[in-house]
Structure 1
Amino acid sequence: MTHRNAPLTELGRLRLARCVIDDGWPLRRAAERFQVSPTTAARWADRYRQHGVEAMTDRSSRPHHSPTRTPTRTERRIIKIRVLHRWGPARIAYLLGLNPSTVHRVLTRYKLARLRWLDRTTGTPIRRYEHDNPGDLVHVDIKKLGNIPDGGGARVVGQKLGRANRARSVNKTLDSSGRGHLGYSYLHNAIDDHSRLAYTEILADERKETAVGFWRRAQKFFSTNGITVRRVLTDNGPCYRSKPWAEAMTAAAITHKRTRPYRPQTNGKVERFNRTLVDEWAYARPYRSEAERRAAFTQWLHTYNHHRGHTALGGHPPASRVPNLTGQHT
């Protein structure tokens, strides 16, 4: 394929060659007429003379002979190790005594999928999908986080002071060893499959009544922003297999689907949101208390929905796919 600034297309090359070969034009005259150098005019004229019209197309720049190319036997070993063990270039190179860049070139040459595109258990490519409209599918899941003691935990202030802060925490309950337990926070998350718009609440447990209450508020949030939820996908947690959850789904005319057991990849969008939430909010900076961390959550969620570029959306935030989202341009 010619680049956009090329003076000659395939048709232009043919016209130039015919002027020289068929009509007997001098090379310099033909080169001047088609705004190219005499050398270029000679090249296309020679190709036309030897091979005809078919020679006017671009040829591959690949050399006819590559004496330094990796031997075929070594390439086969690289591919075999990749397929059987699903190792990366660096590990394969260490085993075979090669340079990692060499292994990477071989894997690229044979178009082997990147490891992050493969299911680690089966080695088959992960099937990715995205529904066409907001509300066609909403992913729901729960992320469990340990609470932070007042004054900061051991990761922030060190083991000694962290234990003292834990002991002074007003929410502690002592176990048999005398250690204080601060409890956990349960983040109930709902992610729209098409837009990646997220609704999250930090709640005290993951019981069925709590999950149902969260979903009713999440559905109201999506409805307020013009999204009619048609299907919901969850894992096989007890709260999602309960009768109250089934009744809530039926009352709202929503189809409830559950993932296959031990296959969290099926609910991958909300699992990925959980990781983003942990990296960019929960452990993003050294919080001095659980209250401080929770106070930062509302602003983070607003930023995620309205301003943070999402790689799956071409660098645009989820709000860009929900035109009537409240506060989209704030």
Structure 2
Amino acid sequence: MPWNVRNAMSLKEEFVSLARQPDANIRELCRRFSISPQTGYKWLRRFEQGGSAALQERSRRPASSPRLTEAALEAEVVALRQEHPAWGGRTISSLLSKRIAPSTVTNVLHRHELIQSTEKAREARLRFEHDAPNDLWQMDFKGHFALQQGRCHPLTILDDHSRFNLAIHACDNERGATVKEKMTEVFQRYGLPVRINVDNGAPWGSPRNPGEVTELSIWLIRLGIQISFSRPYHPQTNGKIERFHRSLKAEVLDGRQFSTLVQAQTAFDRWREIYNLQRPHQALGYQVPMTRYHPSPWAYPNQLEDFEYAPDDILAKVYHGRFRFQKRYFSIAKGLVGQTIAIRPGRDGGGMFDVYFCHQRLRTIDVNKPDYGP
């Protein structure tokens, strides 16, 4: 994200956190953050000498002190809850180095009428997560809301393994060209993931034809990324980003009115820093996402290379949303016009074939049931 939009302090802390991880390639990180190696090493030296406070001009008061009296500790709990109304007892307890039990935090919140009696702990769920950062990213728009000037469409991207938020972009629309521009910024900074999961809506899919690829999805596939689509009417298949959206709504959007996209982006950037670097997450054992994330070694390419299919693949050219195979015509995504696809025998045989674009399987066809007549 451009320097004049993102909070410079957030950039410094994020860079230092990533650069201090084992096996970090500092020069590559400097390139992705658009800073010189000299600047990167200077930030690291300052952090090693004075921690986060040394990275900024203003001083930062510690979140807590081991010498706090019981009354002062209670005041700290109240202040944290007032600043972050969606944080519960376990999160606040962890942030205060567990010097106060979660149940005690909850009692304090009740005593100060900062928690509703109707609030109930959500049932624990067995959550699946991928083994490593960048194995899977989840991406979606957090709806849209009115500004004093236009509307804001927050585009969010989340790493499945670490819950690290790669971006919250305040967009003025949900068009594919806009998403491509924002994703390019993310790829240039963090590299490419193995897979991205999205829903079946625009701009990456088609609600009427689940699994159909758009021009945006085709670009992602050509980058070598596997695209997966959530099951229609089953948002839980993108569950982590849905939970992220609830937090974004509760902690940033509820009860607030933004004048412009720039004002909304400023609020997103501030909250993103707290979410990634400061807020403990229950699903991570009360660690912060930054402790589990590192950029992908798979760098964003300067130009797209042509994909090489296997020698035994049957190749076909796409014309006007269809292709010809064994003198029969079958439908395919219109965005693939002019592209080459591969046709491979299906596992079960019997006239069944799988259709691929690059590495991505698009559909299965039955040569005995063409989509178009002779």
TM-score (norm 2): 0.41
Bigger proportion of residues as helix: 1
Bigger proportion of residues as strand: 2
TM-score (norm 1): 0.46
Greater RCO (Cα-Cα under 8 Å, separation 6 or more) = 2
